Homo-oligomer: A and B are copies of this chain.
């Protein structure tokens, strides 16, 4: 599953095969089919685990006594880590690009991931707005969704540019949008 995850993030669902995983592990294709009968079973299991682990990471951030500003920065940091680790993309944006290769169940999984991101951000944004750390005119949920869209796009463009500094710059600029001028 680790290797499957990496391969989807790097090449996409249609860009790797059972043979690739088998070779990476040093095992035979059929052994993988024993655990994951079809490729979609595999990717679904990987997706489920990915989403759970990502949610745990968000929860872990929430559990720490951070400021709202720090929380958002740590959120962007999670997506930066993915990019930093061999310039991978978020599994879910990768799979969202290949959406038409998947059945409805998997599509719903993807939307659950994006929604969960937005809900987590909503809380942080709501708190931060009250504390004066953030300024935005729309609702916290609307701002949250905008950030999710932004971070996915930022990751995509940064990888394409071949420079993680591109991501950092984009995030810095979005943080400037979010925070009151006098706090910069």
Contact = CB atoms under 8 A, between A and B. Distances in A.
Interface of A: 10-12, 14-15, 89, 93-94, 96-101, 107, 110-111, 114, 136-138, 142-143, 145-146, 148-154, 156-157, 159-162, 166, 169-170, 173-174, 176-177, 181, 184
Given A97-B98, A150-B153, 6 more contacts: A11-B101, A14-B15, A114-B160, A137-B181, A145-B157, A149-B150
Contacts of A162: 107
A154 B153 CA distance: 8
Nearest to A110: B160
A160 B107 contact: yes
Main secondary structure of the interface of A (DSSP, over half): helix
A174 B97 CA distance: 22
Contacts of A146: 150, 170, 173-174, 177
User: Which of A15, A152, A153, A181 has most B Cβ within 10 Å?
Assistant: A153
Nearest to A107: B160
Nearest to A184: B137
B138 A149 contact: no
Contacts of A148: 153, 157
B143 A11 contact: no
Nearest to A177: B177
A100 B150 contact: no
B93 A176 contact: no
A138 to B, nearest CB: 5
